[in-house]
Amino acid sequence: MGFKYLIKLIFFVCLLMVAFVRNETVAQCGCASNTAMKSPMNLIGISESGIIAKKNLLVAALYRLNIANSTLSNDIKLQNKQSLEIHNFYVFASYGLDNFNSLEFNISYAYKLHEQYNVKTSGYGLSGFELGLKRHLYETELSDFNVNLGFGIKAPLMKAKDIDTFPLIIQPSNGAFGMYGVVYLQKSLANLKSNLFFVLRSDYNFRNNVDYFVAPAIQGSFFYSKNLFNEVNAVIGLVSEYKFKDKYLGQIYENSGGYYLKALSMANVLLGEFGLSLFAEIPLYEYLYGEQISNGISFGLMLSFSKNFNRRKL
């Protein structure tokens, strides 16, 4: 595949995702954005190339804690004190169908605790799952630049409840079916034992069972990874996301949508077939429409296991 053709293909994919997003001028509520189902692999990038080799299996379990304790109107902090804790649990699996395609599956569980005016409310349960395919598109002769494309479907494992009685912010699932598309770019810097990553993802959701439209979002991430020792590497990065406004009963939900920029740091340790990752996310800037609780800070860890089924027993 020629490089010019590849660039045109990437541009077309990005344009198609944006077209889906702009089909209804709306998105995910900033306060409800944590209900979005996104693969933890897009958060921490466990695989160097993004494609699992043929007949290789990767399984990972991830825990992520998000803590938010401020309310924003645009980028102004309000005195309306409230707090939100979200405990997310993910199980992720990726299997290499061949050396160019890998199948991915992700299922998540959430526990949420919200407090305002000394009143506590909570919600918990299975959020949903993702099933997708990742395709290797382009690689230079020196294998120092790679491009991969991913796409898939999202499905809830719980129906949404009436948001007038149970705000979406405390529901473990948004109850919406959807789809996503992802473009991955990787540049290797062999002389520095480093890698550069750029990930662009777009999510589109359909209306859920209570006629709430959890609107699209576009996320761009840039990471720099550095090999510190044979089994240890560190990652730093920036993650930005833009959310359009939601709709409820056909009307725009004003307290939704916005954009943010956050920093991510991570340490990875690989011991044979096992891996351990620790990460943290800190918001740098947030602009939320209407009045919404902030995204807050996040911490987490992941345990992974990989297995090569190509090996033959002697």
What single DSSP character describes residue 181?
Answer: E
Average the pLDDT over 146-164 and give the result: 93
Average the pLDDT over 59-71 and give the result: 93
What does the pLDDT look like over 285-301, one tens digit per residue? 999 999 999 989 999 99
What is the pTM (predicted TM-score) of this model? 0.83
Smallest Cα–Cα separation from 309: which of 55, 103, 120? 55
Whether the pLDDT of residue 178 is over 70: the answer is yes
Average the pLDDT over 208-236 and give the result: 92
What single DSSP character describes residue 164?
Answer: T
Which domains does the chain show, CATH number per domain?
3-308 (2.40.160.40)
Label residue 15 by pLDDT band (50, 70, 90). Answer: very low
Average the pLDDT over 263-279 and give the result: 92
Question: Which pair of structure tokens corresponds to residue 49?
Answer: 């190339």
Question: Max Cα separation, the chain?
Answer: 68
**pLDDT averaged over every residue in the chain:** 84
